[in-house]
Structure 1
Amino acid sequence: MTPPRPLIVVTALLSLVVLVNLWIFARFTVDDAFITWRYGQNLIAHGIWAYNPDGFDLTQAYTNPVFAALSILPAAMGWDMVLSFKLLSLLTLAGIGALLLREAGEKARMAFVLVLGLAIPASIAHAFSGLETWLYGGTLALFFIYAEQRKWTQALLCVLLLVLTRPEAWLLFALYPVMLLTTRPARAIALRHGAALGLMATGYFGFHLWYFGEALPNTYFIKSGDGFNPAQALRILPYVLPALAVQVWGNRRTGLGLLLYFGAVGYSYASSDLLMNYLQRFAFQIALPMALYLGWAVSRAPVGQARRGWLTLWVAVYLAAFGVHTRSLGDHLGIANYYPRLLDSHVALGRALNALSAQGAVASFALGDAGAAAYHADIRALDTIGLTSHLVARDGLTLAVVQAYAPDVVAFFATAEGVRDLPDRHAALWAYVAETGMTEQCELVWARQYTLRLFTRSPLPALSDACAHSAAANGTDELRYALRALRQPPWTYWHE
């Protein structure tokens, strides 16, 4: 059927919004991405698959083995890591879009859903963050689409990619065989696919258990919460509700699969300590695949043009709800400014530490932001939050753990008013500072509301220079900073 002209016009207008979003938010690279990239860097530079370049406190800090493995290539070829993953982000968006359009019936409706999704600022930020959010969400949507069409080879390939992309996808080790067997496939298909899943699970968990001593990523132990949080559930679980509609009015097998998968994931999120949940990243990891599947289902729905229009509207409302959920201007300004500020603070700190290490002045440091600073410092780093430390995950941030790392520089989370009151993270650090006779040297400024107070045993001019540079570059409010930085195209910041 010929798609309605209004839908094409709206899609074209939304494309202009997407271009604006790209200009503003494609410059965003999150600090956590550098945690994963450090594994490829350390393998090439130091010959070890570890977060710390000397292998101390061996920890599986990454949750995305695919991106960790991909980081090896830029490190080996001497390519800029940030630029490499920005280009991968573009390829991911293009590839997912192409595959979804190929599977769609009325392609204009699928295109509308894709463009509407990207017209939400948070969506572009997640696409270019350096994390796996869009790869996971798009591939998960394709999995349910292929499974519904009984394209089992493609569905299996999606599962194999997904379980290496996000820990949530481990649910598919159980759910996929159930979905497959309910269609009563040929015995040979069931055996081949079961064997493939078994080999993947054995290889994945077996390697990490053998190499790191834990089958699960370290983030599992750090992010485990204190139980179900009703307030957090209300921000996440409503995005699972379309699965009920699919169960009642759509393909029941797919609807049940969506409900089981996203219900379990949503419950897990509502029971976890969701670190780095910028722009509702974890809710987006439900909303994105759900919306993309619904867009495909509407494009293939065997109904008249008018009813399909109403269904398209409901998908649009669903996506718009997420847009409203993440509408904060302050959050958007913070994300637009995030990586430019990081370059003048944490990256500058990492480069200063690297130079001091070359002089033999420092060999280790302690900091809660475990990404860019550690990546550029290329020395032992104690993540005081614990994402990259098996010792912290197991024992907590105790004085003994800090002593084992023996940091020459200790950083405390602070604001312009002073060090924050975080006794669970700071108590052991304060004890170590007192024990070693450290004093405050300077304040590194990411923004007025987020600084780092640096403590050392003796003055280190390189650190003072980094602090002074950060204060001069980042000491303005978000709006003024954005008005200055947004004059530059996003690719200005596509570098380490």
Structure 2
Amino acid sequence: MIILLGIFFLGLLHTLHTSFFVCDDAFISFRYAQNLAEHGQLTYNPGEAVEGFSNFSWTLLLSLMALLQINLSISALILSAVASLITLGTTYLITRDLLRNGTLTPYPVSGTRFTDFIAFSAPIFLILWAPYTTWTAGGLETMCFTALFALSLRATLNKTPVAAGLLWGLTAITRPEGALFVLIAMGWLGADILRSCWKNKTIKTLLPFTDGVAFLVLLTGSLFLFRWYYYGELLPNTYYAKVWGIPSSFLRLHGLSYIHGFIKTYSLVYFVPILTGLAIILPRLKWELSLLLTLTITWFVYILSTGGDFMAMLRFFVPVLPLLALLLACSAGGFFLMVARRTKNLRIPGLVALLLCLSSGGLLLYRSLVFERASIRYEKRQLGMESVRGMVHYVSDRIKVGRELRRIFPSSITHMSMAVGGAGAISYESRIGRAIDTFGLMDKTIARKKVRPGKFYKPGHLKQASWASLRAQKPHILCSPGIATIGFSPPGARHRKRVLAFFNEYDYFCLRLPLSSDDRGRSRTHYCCIRRKTMATPVGALK
């Protein structure tokens, strides 16, 4: 336990030093949670039932924090840190059990300490992956989903069907893609139980499995029924905004690029010889390894089919990292077994396993530091993703803008409407009455647009509201892409003329604030949007 806590705090210190922030998308869930706590409505805008989030249980958990009047940013960070600790501990326990089952049959006593030591390499590998430590923060459901995924996997491998059904159900209602792994894992467990029933000529072991399936159906079925009753849909609106209507060939192309970026960043080809150690323990763990490898491959196929992600540090790979970490550790255990068969001195196979763990960990650490260094230093995009620095600056600027809007419109902000691209921190911090997300997360019409992508690709941002549709909705303020500007001065005359020629009932206003610095160290000072001409220039804003 002490070793695990040490590993956790080591990873947490690294997170605090490099990427301790709450990303802009987290504020979408915050707004849903706040509205549920304050108005009893699981909506982004009161009275508009659109499911513009895809983390149901996480949002409910945040709404409980809001009901208790606990700051949601702090709550999300603490919950993510706790989930990270649970993931590390569960990864260790899974690896320990697999190594004991796969390598200790010939060495029931003296070999225990060696394989348990090897098992600790799995959580160490985990914190050496930069995506894992980065997304221990972020404020999203990523780490909660990863923890539930790991807990569900352990319950499945331990063949405890009631716990497995309950945990896989929670996993599925935390992220929609969890349903893919529910089918695989519960199918695997069901097949194993049926095999046991056939072998022992009894159905006693089948009864707990039916209870587990009942829990699973109850949780997932309840979500679908609620979604249909409350939102009138079987799938969240985020699916339509991010996947539906986009050519599958285009998504696969960019999903392949995302996977290639992961493989190249971490030089994964060098791990192939180490992973051959799995073949050594395969005869003893054939059933277990088949599940682990199937889940891993399925995750890669899922990323391929959805086109990857735009957020920093390969976020979509975080849930599968515990699997990769424990497979590496099990491979080291395989080589331990191979050498132990040839010598009575267990220190020699222990040394071999240690060298394999050190070489694997060293490579992970080196590649993570190189990858992370560029991401935290520069705003420039990496491998088609945002950098950590870019995301930190983006959300910090929008928090300041949202708070400034609330300050200069103190009495009327809750009765106003605003169009914004990236409906996170600005909408949440400003407390705007109605926010129009131009990317369609909260708009069924935009989300169902069919698009013909060009060279531009940013997952979740291919669909945008047209200027004509925005003008027709007559928002009080427009801070949407192509209209809003951020920089060192107000927008130039050419940009103003182009925008105001279309929005002739609007005029520009600028907020002068201490905003983020660019890569050359120059501080941005102006965030400019347009507002209706009938509105007076707010106090503290520049025309």
SS, match of residue 167 in structure 1? coil
Alpha-carbon distance in structure 2 between the residues aligned to 1:196 and 1:172: 16
Partner in structure 2 of residue 111 of structure 1? 120
Residue identity in the other structure for 2:405: L
2-side partners of 1:300 and 1:65: how far apart?
40
- After superposing the two structures, state which structure 1 stretch, 299-308 or 281-290, moved more: 299-308
Q: Deviations over 1:363-403 (max 9, x none)?
A: 11111121111112222111112223323202451356424
Work out whether 1:437 is the aligned partner of 2:505.
Answer: yes
Select 1:55's aligned residue among 19, 31, 47. Answer: 47
| 2:24 matches 1:37 | no
Describe the shift of the 1:317–1:167 C-alpha distance in structure 2 as closer, same or farther (beyond 3 A). farther
Q: 2:372 & 2:389 partners in 1: Cα distance?
A: 16
Q: State the shift of 1:159 in Å.
A: 0.8
Q: Is the 8 A contact 1:144 1:293 kept in 2?
A: no
- 2:279–2:334 contact (8 Å) kept in structure 1: no
SS, match of residue 162 in structure 2? helix
Q: Go from structure 1 to structure 2 and tell me whether the alpha carbon gap of 1:297 and 1:141 turns closer, same or farther (over 3 Å shift).
A: farther
Q: How does 1:245-264 map to 2 (within 5 A)?
A: 248-249=279-280, 250=282, 251-264=285-298
Determine if the alignment matches structure 1 residue 67 to structure 2 residue 58: yes
Q: Select 2:67's aligned residue among 53, 76, 91.
A: 76
2:541 is paired with a residue of what secondary structure?
Answer: helix
After superposition, the CA RMSD in angstroms is 3.9
Aligned to 1:474: none
Compute the displacement of 1:297 (Å): 7.6
For residue 216 of structure 1, report the CA deviation from its aligned partner: 1.6
Residues 441-460 of structure 1: pairs in structure 2 closer than 5 A: 441-442=509-510, 445-448=515-518, 453-458=528-533, 460=537
Gaps of 5+ in 2: 97-114, 195-204, 341-349, 380-386, 450-463
1:137–1:289: 8 Å Cα contact kept in structure 2? no
- In the alignment, the residues of structure 2 paired with residue 158 and residue 300 of structure 1 have an alpha-carbon distance, to the nearest angstrom, of 30
Asked whether the equivalents of residues 33 and 42 of structure 2 are also in contact (C-alpha less than 8 Å), the reply is yes
Q: For 1:320-340, what per-residue CA distance to the aligned partner results, in whole angstroms no more than 9, with x for missing partners? A: 586268344244565665676
Deviation larger for 261-270 or 27-36: 261-270
> What TM-score results when the alignment is normalised by the length of structure 2?
0.70
Q: Distance in 2 between matches of 1:438 and 1:164?
A: 43
Q: Is the 8 A contact 1:122 1:326 kept in 2?
A: no
Aligned partner of 2:202 in structure 1 is none
Contact in 1 for aligned 2:35/2:42 (Cα 8 Å): yes
Look up the match of 1:461: 538
Matching residue's letter, 2:532: R
Contact 2:25 2:423 in 1 (8 A): yes
C-alpha displacement of 1:63: 1.4
- The whole-number CA distance in structure 2 between the counterparts of 1:154 and 1:128 is 28
> Which position in structure 2 is the counterpart of 1:98?
89
Q: Could you tell me which residue of structure 1 aligns to residue 238 of structure 2? A: 219
2:444 is aligned, of 390, 411, 417, to: 390
Distance 1:393 1:356, change over 3 A: farther
Higher helix share: 1
Structure 1: distance between partners of 2:30 and 2:479: 22
Q: Is the 8 A contact 2:404 2:430 kept in 1?
A: yes
Match of residue 109 from structure 2? none
Aligned counterpart, 1:179: 188
- Note the C-alpha offset of 1:178: 1.5
Distance 2:8 2:67 in 1: 37
Does residue 367 in structure 1 map to residue 452 in structure 2? no
TM-score by length of 1: 0.76
- Provide the rounded CA distance (Å) in 2 between the counterparts of 1:337 and 1:399: 30
- CA distance in 2: counterparts of 1:321 and 1:137, whole angstroms: 24
Greater Cα shift, 177-186 or 324-333:
324-333
2:141 match? 132
Report the CA distance between 1:176 and its aligned residue.
2.5
1:415 to partner: Cα distance: 5.9
Give, in whole Å, the separation in 2 of the partners of 1:418 and 1:392.
Answer: 32
Higher relative contact order (CA 8 A, sep 6+): 1
Partners in 1 of 2:490 and 2:326 — Cα distance?
Answer: 44
Distance apart, 1:169 and its partner CA: 0.9
Contact 1:144 1:254 in 2 (8 A): no
Distance 1:176 1:103, change over 3 A: closer
In structure 1, C-alpha distance between the alignment counterparts of 2:290 and 2:363, rounded to whole Å? 19
Asked which structure has the greater CA Rg, the reply is 2
**CA distance in structure 1 between the aligned counterparts of 2:43 and 2:159, rounded to whole angstroms:** 40
Contact 1:415 1:448 in 2 (8 A): no
> What does 1:25-424 correspond to in 2, within 5 Å?
25=18, 27-52=20-45, 54-56=46-48, 58-105=49-96, 106-185=115-194, 186-224=205-243, 225-226=246-247, 227=249, 228-229=252-253, 230-236=256-262, 248-249=279-280, 250=282, 251-292=285-326, 294-295=328-329, 303=337, 304=340, 305-309=350-354, 312-313=357-358, 316=361, 319-320=364-365, 323=368, 326-331=371-376, 341=393, 345-355=397-407, 358-360=410-412, 363-378=416-431, 379-395=433-449, 397-399=465-467, 401-403=469-471, 405-413=473-481, 414=485, 416=487
Letter in 1 for 2:155: Y
Task: Name the CA distance, whole Å, in 2 between partners of 1:156 and 1:461.
Answer: 55
1:137 to partner: Cα distance: 2.4
Percent of pairs with identical residues: 21
Q: Which stretch of the first structure deviates more once superposed, 404-413 or 69-78? A: 404-413
For the residues of structure 1 that align with 2:367 and 2:238, how far apart are their CA atoms?
26
In structure 1, runs of 5+ residues without a counterpart are 1-7, 421-425, 468-496
Residues 83-134 of structure 1, C-alpha deviations (whole Å, 9 max, x = no match) = 1222212322233333444555344434333234324443222011111222
**How many pairs does the alignment contain?**
446
Is the 1:109–1:299 contact (alpha carbons within 8 Å) kept by the matching residues of 2?
yes
What secondary structure, in the 3-state scheme, does the structure 2 residue paired with 1:271 have?
A: helix
Report the 3-state secondary structure (helix = DSSP H, G, I; strand = E; otherwise coil) of the residue aligned with 2:509.
Answer: strand
Q: Structure 1 residues 29, 108: CA separation in 2 closer, same or farther (over 3 Å shift)?
A: farther
2-structure distance, mates of 1:151, 1:307: 34
CA shift in 2, pair 1:296/1:390, >3 Å: farther
Deviation at 1:356, TM superposition (A): 5.1
**Given the alignment of the two structures, is residue 24 of structure 1 paired with residue 17 of structure 2, yes or no?**
yes
Q: What is the DSSP-based 3-state SS (H/G/I as helix, E as strand, rest coil) of the residue aligned with 1:146?
A: helix
